[in-house]
Chain A
């Protein structure tokens, strides 16, 4: 038995924290930082783009093409993050890009959460053939790769921000369905539902007034975690030329525009990607924090 005790002791010793670990734990327990990054990179520029942006995002100065950012020897404060191949101010385009990211993610999220939650509530509550039908729809959805679906949609309806939102919404509703269905299944048989029924509540009233508030935490957490997914998907579609149409300054489009100038002007492609990265990173960590606070059950949802 001594060896076993020794081993557990050794195990406990191994688990004392190193400085690096403590730093990570600290960052993770501090959502403030992520909230600030989100506000600075996404929300504030997204809401107030016309006020903040120093230049017009669409109108380029052709005499100042591919100007370097301010920290470069040839850079100037005129264009803090440099300009692209058409002489458009990168900072202003980034700021307007936040607006696109914010708009697309919020609308796509609203649609997919509404559709997904409704289907989840219905299939969890009614079970039986309703559940079967919903599950088959989930199967079909899971069988079409997102980007290919975007390609078909764009080939039919043309390229526009609304097609992009539709594609993203169609691609992301099923997670809500799965989780809300599971929660509804376990709530359905609880006493408070039976009592509401005895008290004379109608089925819609039970679903919306009694079940829905009980799954609200799950919903909020999942939605927060999904914003990052939406932004990555939107920027990927835009990068491939099937998302936000040019000349609208979406982050993915900006990276694509800078692709061919890596040798002479790396900042055109690299800096917008940094914007995506920072936004999604803070969203994910903020979402993790929300999950730990609101809904620890969900811990296994993240891949």
Chain B
């Protein structure tokens, strides 16, 4: 168990190193950082001064470690298009993104688990088929298009909700819905996990001995099936990270996703780089947490799944 956690931590560290090296070298690839800092009038002496100040004449490996040191201290470099440093910008925008993502996760995850269980219990009912068709349709619909259609219907035509921006609760409704939709995949996953459990021998035994159906479903089958959505958590979070870029852009929500698009349009690569690092770190931590949680939830894996 401890060995497994250590190995996973080590793998997470490798992934983190890999990601930061890739992002660092990509940004270095994008050309001499001096091009962005110097104006036409600056002479060679100023250039030399800045080069020394920023340590640009040192070997790339040294520069990488300096850069990582700064990143760990929360310094991602200045922004070229906003009047704040990249770190400062993220600090400002982060709460908005967390608000949106948190609400949609808090609604969609329990809801899709509950519906997943219900569709499994009432398998092949109209309810089940309705869920299935919705999933098939949902999988083929890009989320930006759903957002546009929702705006068209509820904001433009009916005028019930605002089209975009941050404000009261009514501003949250549409973005939260769009952000929550992809995690409906959890529903199908939960359903098949429940079906597996309900088909098993111990459920038959519980039925034979006359246990009430709700007890069989929630106390026995659900407990064993619930490990599946747990492992899916990291996929859901990854979708949230990507989804929030789309949703925040469409609904002009002042979060990190919108910042990412604004930064890219301004070629503000310190900000883009900082956001990419943030997103990647979140994913690495989520992978770690789900893998470890998985092992805790299922003792069998503790011994067999050490090397995946």
User: B287 touching A143 by the CB < 8 A rule?
Assistant: yes
User: B148 touching A269 by the CB < 8 A rule?
Assistant: yes
Type the 1/0 row for A95-138, where 1 means its CB is closer than 8 Å to any CB of B.
00000000000000000000000000000000000000001110
User: A143 touching B19 by the CB < 8 A rule?
Assistant: yes
Chain B residues near A303: list those with CB within 8 A: 139, 185, 188-189, 235
User: A144 touching B124 by the CB < 8 A rule?
Assistant: no
Known A-B contacts A241-B261, A270-B148; A155 and B269 likewise in contact (beta carbons under 8 Å):
yes
Known A-B contacts A4-B208, A15-B124, A284-B139; A145 and B272 likewise in contact (beta carbons under 8 Å):
no
Type the 1/0 row for B259-281, where 1 means its CB is closer than 8 Å to any CB of A.
01101110101001101100110
Known A-B contacts A242-B264, A270-B152; A148 and B275 likewise in contact (beta carbons under 8 Å):
yes
B37 within 8 A of A: no
User: At the interface with chain B, which of A38-46, A190-198, A201-209, A273-281?
Assistant: A273-281
A77 within 8 A of B: no
Interface residues of A in 125-179 (CB under 8 A from B): 135-137, 139-140, 142-149, 151-156
User: A18 touching B136 by the CB < 8 A rule?
Assistant: no
In which size bucket is the chain B interface? 35 or more
User: B19 touching A236 by the CB < 8 A rule?
Assistant: no
Q: How far is the CA of A7 from the CA of B211 in the complex (A)?
A: 13
Q: How far is the CA of A57 from the CA of B14 in the complex (A)?
A: 48
Number of A-B pairs whose CB atoms are under 8 Å? 175
User: At the interface with chain A, which of B22-30, B63-71, B172-180?
Assistant: B22-30
Type the 1/0 row for B270-304, where 1 means its CB is closer than 8 Å to any CB of A.
00110110011001100100000000000000000
Q: How far is the CA of A168 from the CA of B144 in the complex (A)?
A: 18
CB distance from B44 to the nearest CB of A (A): 26
A211 within 8 A of B: no
In which size bucket is the chain A interface? 35 or more
B246 within 8 A of A: yes
Partner pick for B19 among A21, A144, A239, A262, CB 8 A cutoff:
A144
CB distance from B105 to the nearest CB of A (A): 16
Chain B residues near A255: list those with CB within 8 A: 144-145, 148
User: A145 touching B238 by the CB < 8 A rule?
Assistant: yes
User: B22 touching A155 by the CB < 8 A rule?
Assistant: no
User: A284 touching B140 by the CB < 8 A rule?
Assistant: yes
Partner pick for B148 among A145, A240, A262, A285, CB 8 A cutoff:
A262
A259 within 8 A of B: yes
Chain A residues near B103: list those with CB within 8 A: none
Q: Given A136-B15, A276-B141, 17 other A-B contacts at CB below 8 A? A: A18-B126, A20-B129, A24-B132, A142-B238, A143-B18, A144-B22, A146-B242, A151-B264, A152-B273, A155-B267, A240-B249, A242-B264, A256-B144, A266-B156, A269-B148, A277-B141, A281-B136
